[in-house]
Each structure stands twice: as structure tokens, then as C-alpha cells.
Amino acid sequence: MGSQVSKQVERRKAIKTEKKTLIDLKVSDGCDFPGCDHRPQDRKNWMSSLNPEKLHVNQIVWPGTHDSATNKIGIPLISRPFAQCQSLSIYHQLVRGARVLDIRVQEDRRVCHGILLTYSVDVVIEDIKKFLSETESEIIILEIRTEFGHEDPPEFDKYLIEKLGDYLIHQDDHVFGKTVAELLPKRVICIWKPRNSPQPKHGSPLWSAGYLKDNWIDTDLPSTKFESNMKHLSEQPPVSSRKYFYRVENTVTPQPDNPVLCVKPVTNRIHGYARLFITESFSKGYADRLQIFSTDFIDEDFVDACVGLTYARVEGKANI
């Protein structure tokens, strides 16, 4: 019992120290990068406002959401705080400016996060289609994977193709060098990551797992995650020369050995440091590698930071 208490004391000290590290870094370095002052007038149509004929896919800094479809997961006030990573519906995330969705499914096509369940993936698809019907030039990256420990939903690839149909941008390495206008009217890059079923093949309406990479570090220590994200970003080739999407997740997650198990207070330890991460990536010379940037509980400022850097790239103020 004594050793357990001692361990918890040490954990609390580590968290406090790591929080201070990020605060001090923000004070010393600020949050200044090309495009940092840019604010999209209409987040729902921010790609349209950057000129789809000039905006190349590999110039975009894509704002993403982590565990996107968890706004209604579990039981309110009981199990939901332990698994909820977003408070908005998929539709309202897209309206706010998110353009990358992280969806986990189980055998019966219900969305899940670990052992907790929520609505059917049909809800996700309908929200996406509603958003697409209300916009003209916004491109979405939809990542759907079978949650760890579950089996793939039967014939799920056929389901996705049937539901999203003409919106799907087919798997093709040339997409990365194209402009948004060149892809239209197709609007969705759907990356299907089954556990056991065959991967989508080149030319398929769906994209295979290797086209969306990340280096997930499971920790609740904010500075540890921040530095790990930076290290892994530094190891990537520039966006201009790679044929896959790379994601950095500005999140930390609850750990079983820590008494704080609710997502929001834990992820808040790093949530406000997205702009600092972009600033630091510039100071270290890694900004030309930043592409997908994801978060829990997405807000306007996170979207604005990503759109601002995208704007700077399009205008030639941030070379890639």
C-alpha cells in the first residue's frame, strides 16, 4: 500500500513538472509561425476560401479529431467521461473545420472505443454526406479501422463503397500532387484499415492502411508526448516528397495506474499547446513535414492554427 501511495506521489510530481516544461517553453518561444494570425471567415468552407485551383493536397495542414465518433459513447456521467474524446457530432466537427476523422468499428458496424459502444457507423456516414451536400470544395480524409480486439464487420468495404459512392477519391499516388479542384467533384479519401480482411488495392475506391501513418505514444505526460511527436515528425520526409499522409496527435490519454481516468482533464494537459508545436516545428526545421494534426475536443483555435499554416503555404510564406 505504501509503495502504491509513493508511486502516485511520484506520478503527480512528474505530471506537474511536465506541465511546467510546456508552460515555460510557451513563455520563452511564444506561438508565432507563418500564417498564425490568419483566421478563416467561414470554417465550414475554409478550403474553398483558399482557392481550390491553387491549393494542393500536399500543402494542406489537415485538422483532425482523435476518436471522432465518441460524442455519445457509453452512459452519460457514468462511463462516458472515460471514453469521450469529442463533444461534437461528426457533422458539427466538420462544420467547425475538422477534415480528418478517426472512426473505430466492431463486428456489427457500431462505433466503439475499447469496450464501450455508441451509434452505428451509419450515423457517421449520414453526417458526412449532410456536410458534403452543403459544401462544394471541402475534402475529407475518413479513416475507419476495426477496433483492437474486434473482428472486421462482414463485407465492410462493399458497404463503404455503396454508401459513399461517387464521393470517393480512388487510391492513387498522384493525388498528393494534385489540387483540390483537380479532385472535384470527388470529396472523400476513405482509408479502410481492417484487422484480418484484405487491404484495398491500388486503384480501389478505398485506400489501404499504409497511406495514413502515425507514431502513437500512449502516455498521460504532456511534455513526453510533445517531444515524442516532434522526434517522430523529424524522421519523416517533407510532405512534397511523400506518398502517404502522416498524423501528429496533440493528445495525451489516461493511464490505468493513475487516479485521473477521465479523458478531458488528462488531455487538457496538452490541448492548448498546438500552436506551440507548430512554432517549435518551424524553429527546428521540421515544419515542412507537418500534415495531419489531430486533437481531442476540437475547437476553433486548433482549426485556425492548421488553416493559418495552410494559408501561408499556399501564399508562399511557408515553403515546403
* Average model confidence (pLDDT) across the chain: 95
* H/E stretch holding 59: none
pTM across the whole model: 0.96
Q: What value does the CA radius of gyration of the chain take, rounded to a whole number of Å?
A: 19
Cα gap 52→54, rounded to integer Å: 5
Q: Cα–chain-centroid distance for residue 77? A: 26
Q: Where are the beta strands (DSSP E) in the chain?
A: 62-65, 100-105, 110-113, 116-120, 140-146, 188-193, 212-214, 245-249, 292-295
Mean per-residue pLDDT for 91-95?
98
Helix 156-164 vs helix 121-134: angle between axes, to the nearest 10 degrees? Answer: 20
* % pLDDT > 70, the chain: 98
Given its phi and psi angles, is residue 197 left (phi above 0), alpha (psi -120 to 50 degrees) or beta? beta
Q: Which residues lie below 8 Å from residue 307, measured CB to CB, with a gap of 6+?
A: 35, 38, 40, 43, 46, 50, 61, 63, 97
- Structure confidence at residue 79 (pLDDT): 93
* H/E stretch holding 23: helix 2-29
* H/E stretch holding 184: none
Helix 222-234 vs helix 263-271: angle between axes, to the nearest 10 degrees? Answer: 60
How confident is the model over 294-310, as pLDDT tens digits? 999 999 999 999 999 99
Split at pLDDT 50, 70, 90, the class of 282 is very high
CATH class of 13-315: alpha beta
**Cell 494534385 maps to which residue?**
178
How confident is the model over 21-38, as pLDDT tens digits? 999 999 998 889 999 999
Cα gap 36→52, rounded to integer Å: 21
Split at pLDDT 50, 70, 90, the class of 9 is confident
Split at pLDDT 50, 70, 90, the class of 315 is very high
Residue 2 has pLDDT above 90, yes or no: no
Residue 272 has pLDDT above 60, yes or no: yes
Look at the chain and count its residues. Answer: 320
Mean per-residue pLDDT for 173-192?
98
Query: CB 113: neighbour CB atoms within 10 A?
Result: 19
Residue type at position 252: V
Cα gap 207→227, rounded to integer Å: 30
